[in-house]
Chain A
């Protein structure tokens, strides 16, 4: 115990020893995960708009997959059923596609969702000024803070987007069964379905990361004194 000052003094004056601070990735993941777990309700709210937007995207894409599955049979009756259900099929069309209007709405919903995420994350960062300041006083670098926020958003994004994608696909399939009977599910091309699911999940993750990047940058650049001055 007595020599506790000795080694540190030696290190300070010895240029041979690198003055490094580190935060191993495994530890970052652990901290980020715990942070989400402890603030579960808060994280849920942040992720909710993402889940909804992604499930809508997934719903639209999987509905198209269902229609394509039905079209691929070449059965004119199913083709008629599709037209009655609102698909705009010209006689020569071999594949159905989502309408431009649908694509617009999906795009808008994703945009609204991104704005929602930025907003929620800015709030979350403000709530955590003191925590960030404390970490910096303990020796955290800007990029540790940045990494923690990105990891948190990445995990939230992955779980939220996956849930949204599966949920949206489920409703699209149910919808198919409702209009066209069981064959809607049986005929759906599995490859396309998986593709739609992964596209929606990836889009959600990306959105979550884009949404958090500005708030995380603000948090990371904060000076410890400023962070500690806020009353909380």
Chain B
């Protein structure tokens, strides 16, 4: 990368859910710029709007107002095909609940996005095996999700997210359903990927462990960005958190 540019740019995004007569303001004007290749954590209490922001960045939902740019392309201007293309090729999703397709094997899950992207079957299988090797599940490729542990399922999800060499990996509480150790393994796996492949990782979390590996931390509170801190500013905050939790 010769020039550092922003892979994601969010300008003045609001999102209001209309529940009958009540309007829930999940996001109240968010501005955010995320540079390419960074590991970004979005921190905030439950209900602060992390998942909502995620869905906007991932092109899974449309903002009520404001704009989301992925690679300087306005997501709201895309038609159904282009949106599907974006989800398929540009973004890899990882969820708290893994969301591995239950009726497919690990390998089939990983190769599905490649099929959508038009890759030849043999090539897809070869690449799928490589990716499963990368996440340490090379020997489990024929297993169905229910034969895998939570951590292993999340590894499959990571391999699947990498299928089409996305520019961005969006992870919504990827460690939320995992125990401490497994969570740490998943976090370091994501961090390595981010560095080795220059993939931008954006991850929402309550998990303080995430802070150590983040290049940028965005604190969100009640639908607004509280503050953003880069790695060097962070040590101070972590000290504070440690002191608080001790």
Interface residues of A (CB under 8 A from B): 1-2, 4-5, 7-9, 11-13, 19-24, 27, 31, 34-35, 38-39, 130-131, 133-142, 144, 223-225, 228
The size bracket of the interface on B is 35 or more
Residues of chain A within 8 A of B102, CB atoms compared: 131
Contact A138 B90 (CB under 8 A): no
Residues of chain A within 8 A of B88, CB atoms compared: 21, 138-139
Assembly CA distance A38 to B144 (angstroms): 10
8 Å CB contact of B85 from A19, A38, A133: A19
Residues of chain B within 8 A of A5, CB atoms compared: 1, 36-37, 165, 167, 197-199
Assembly CA distance A228 to B58 (angstroms): 13
Assembly CA distance A130 to B82 (angstroms): 22
Nearest Cβ in chain B — how far from A144, in angstroms?
Answer: 8
Nearest Cβ in chain A — how far from B52, in angstroms?
Answer: 9
Assembly CA distance A178 to B60 (angstroms): 64
Residues of chain A within 8 A of B121, CB atoms compared: 27
Residues of chain A within 8 A of B108, CB atoms compared: 34
Segment touching A, from B40-48, B111-119, B135-143, B221-229: B111-119
B39 contacts partner chain A, Cβ-Cβ < 8 Å: no
Contact B99 A23 (CB under 8 A): no
Nearest Cβ in chain B — how far from A101, in angstroms?
Answer: 44
8 Å CB contact of A137 from B72, B82, B87: B87
Nearest Cβ in chain A — how far from B113, in angstroms?
Answer: 4
A-B contact count (CB 8 A): 112
Assembly CA distance A116 to B102 (angstroms): 26
Residues of chain A within 8 A of B164, CB atoms compared: 8
Chain B residue at minimal CB-CB distance from A24: B115
- Most chain A CB within 10 A, of B81, B85, B197, is at B85
Contact A138 B71 (CB under 8 A): no
Interface residues of B (CB under 8 A from A): 1, 36-37, 55, 58, 60-61, 71-73, 80-82, 84-85, 87-90, 93, 95, 97, 99-104, 108, 112-113, 115-118, 121, 160, 164-167, 196-199
Assembly CA distance A7 to B81 (angstroms): 20
Assembly CA distance A2 to B124 (angstroms): 19
Assembly CA distance A8 to B164 (angstroms): 9
* A136 and B87 in contact, given A5-B36, A22-B118, A224-B60 (Cβ under 8 angstroms): yes
8 Å CB contact of B80 from A134, A141, A228: A141
Q: What would be 25 A-B contacts, judged by CB atoms less than 8 Å apart?
A: A1-B197, A2-B196, A2-B198, A4-B165, A4-B197, A4-B198, A5-B37, A8-B89, A8-B90, A8-B164, A12-B90, A19-B85, A20-B85, A21-B84, A21-B85, A21-B88, A22-B116, A22-B117, A38-B103, A39-B103, A134-B100, A138-B93, A138-B112, A141-B81, A225-B55
Assembly CA distance A223 to B113 (angstroms): 18
8 Å CB contact of A140 from B1, B61, B84: B84
Contact B115 A228 (CB under 8 A): no
Residues of chain A within 8 A of B95, CB atoms compared: 228
Assembly CA distance A137 to B55 (angstroms): 10
Contact A139 B165 (CB under 8 A): no
Residues of chain A within 8 A of B93, CB atoms compared: 137-138
Assembly CA distance A20 to B81 (angstroms): 7
Residues of chain B within 8 A of A224, CB atoms compared: 60, 87
* A9 and B71 in contact, given A139-B113, A225-B61 (Cβ under 8 angstroms): yes
